[in-house]
Amino acid sequence: AGRQPIDPLDRHPSRLPDSPNEAQVAQSSIGQFDVRTTPLQMAMVAAAIGNDGVLMRPYLVKSARDSNLTVLESTEPEVYSTPVSLSVAQQLQDMMVAVVESGTGTAAQIAGVTVAGKTGTAETGLDTAPHAWFVGFAPADNPTIAIAV
């Protein structure tokens, strides 16, 4: 009692360049520039693409219930922003479906469900092992879930 848990995880705040130039944007798109994001942020990216460019505010709890399962409090869907246009989102959706159907994300295929996803590699510095990422959403034509692993 009274002891603090040991936290072995190396944590850093999220970071995106304030005013990146074209070369930095290109490097960022493949994980090669100074970009730090969390799995939640990347799941939100996938969710916005799957939601036709509309980013919803994330919630960890949908509702709180009492012992009789009566809803005491619940969250309502709330638009956070629209980071990409419908046409851009639809192009990205098609590309992400192709990644899972025939690209680097075939391991994410689920029988009977069209999955959209994107693989990636994050580097953490010189002489360190890279970290594999996968973000996605499903079903691709009417998403109910977005993930980042």
pLDDT tens readout for residues 94-137? 999 999 999 999 999 999 999 999 998 877 667 777 778 999 99
Q: How many CA atoms lie within 13 A of 22 on its CB side?
A: 0
Residue bearing the bigger pLDDT, 124 or 24: 24
77 domain-assigned: yes
Residue bearing the bigger pLDDT, 42 or 12: 42
- CA 40 – CA 58 distance, rounded (Å): 9
- CA 125 – CA 81 distance, rounded (Å): 32
Whether 27 shows a pLDDT value over 90: the answer reads no
70 domain-assigned: yes
Question: And the tokens for 110?
Answer: 């689920």
pTM, two decimal places:
0.81
90 domain-assigned: yes
How many structural domains are present in the chain? 1
Residue bearing the bigger pLDDT, 99 or 21: 99
Where do the H-state alpha helices sit in the chain?
Answer: 22-29, 39-50, 86-102
pLDDT digits (tens, 9 = 90+) for 41-98: 999 999 999 999 999 999 889 999 999 999 999 999 999 999 999 999 999 999 999 9
CATH of the domain at 68: 3.40.710.10
Residue bearing the bigger pLDDT, 37 or 92: 92
12 domain-assigned: no
31 domain-assigned: no
Whether 3 shows a pLDDT value over 70: the answer reads no
Residue bearing the bigger pLDDT, 10 or 30: 30
What residues contact 41, with CB distance under 8 A and at least 6 apart? 14
107 domain-assigned: yes
30 domain-assigned: no
Structural domain boundaries enclosing 138:
37-148
Write down the pLDDT at residue 24: 85
